[in-house]
Structures are given as C-alpha cells and as structure tokens.
C-alpha cells in the first residue's frame, strides 16, 4: 500500500499514513482552503486500508487547531475507523491535546462520544 506523507504548513496538518510501519497520524493545524480536496486522498487511503488492515491500528490525532470545515472531515475519518472497529478490527484512537487547551480536550471528548471506538485522551505540555 502506498504511504501518504504530507508535510504540514501554517494551514494544513502533517499527515503520515504508513501501514507497514504502523504510523497513522494527523498533527498540527487544519484549516485548508479547500478542506475536501485536502482530506479526500486520506479518506480514500483509509477505504483501501480497511480492506486489509493491520492486526492493531493506533490512529493519533495531534492537532493544535482545526476549523469548522475540518471538524466534519475529521469526523469522517473517525467514522471510517469506527466502521473498521465494528467489523472486528482492533482500533485505538489517541487524541493528543495541549494540557492547557480546554477546547482541544473538549473536541476529543465530543468525538469520543460520537464514535464507538476505544478512545484515549492524552495531554501534553507544549
């Protein structure tokens, strides 16, 4: 499977989707001008990955900021992970947030309430 590596900018997050090395991570800031175009290859990759996933998938979100348009696409990613989980795959979502950022902590809590997937909140110091 092809590896996706996107270097983050001021407006777009860094993305690493690497099945062989078991790295699944989105980090940084997400406010792309065209959110659908940015996230479409990620969603397509997850569709392909879901056909033959690893025995365990730990997907990490390490975002410091995302806009409203991004929140919908992040939910789409989480829904794909939920679907994989419901199909009997071992999935864990790790939601990292700066320990002093209540908004990002709450966003993780809200997502964990929406999707039925094991969800771990991890605070860190910037």
As for how many domains the chain has, the answer is 1
Cα Dmax for the chain = 38
pLDDT at 58 over 80: yes
CATH number at residue 111: 3.30.750
pLDDT value at position 16?
98
- Structure-token match 């991890």, residue found: 122
66-94 mean pLDDT: 98
For 126, the token pair is 């910037």
**What's the CA gap between 105 and 123, in Å, rounded?**
8
Please state at what angle helix 68-86 crosses helix 35-51, rounded to 10 degrees: 10
**What's the CA gap between 60 and 58, in Å, rounded?**
6
Pairing type for strands 4-6 and 14-18 reads: antiparallel
| β-bridge partners, 25 | 16, 60
**What's the CA gap between 29 and 86, in Å, rounded?**
29
pLDDT value at position 89?
98
Q: How confident is the model at residue 92 (pLDDT cuts 50, 70, 90)?
A: very high
Q: Range of 10's domain?
A: 4-124
pLDDT value at position 117?
97
pLDDT at 126 over 80: no
Task: Give the contacts of 51 (CB within 8 A, at least 6 positions apart).
Answer: none
3-state secondary structure 68-84: HHHHHHHHHHHHHHHHH
């Amino acid at each position: 499977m092809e590896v996706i590596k996107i270097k983050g900018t001021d407006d777009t997050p860094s993305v690493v989707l690497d099945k062989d090395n078991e790295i699944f991570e989105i980090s940084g800031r997400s406010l792309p001008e065209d959110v659908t175009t940015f996230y479409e290859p990620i969603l397509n990759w997850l569709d392909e990955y879901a056909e033959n996933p690893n025995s365990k998938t730990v997907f990490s979100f390490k975002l410091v900021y995302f806009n409203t348009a991004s929140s919908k696409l992040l939910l789409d990613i989480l829904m794909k992970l939920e679907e994989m989980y419901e199909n009997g795959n071992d999935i864990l979502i790790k939601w990292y947030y700066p320990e002093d950022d209540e908004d990002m902590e709450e966003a993780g809590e809200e997502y964990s309430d929406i999707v039925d997937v094991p969800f771990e909140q991890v605070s860190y110091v910037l």
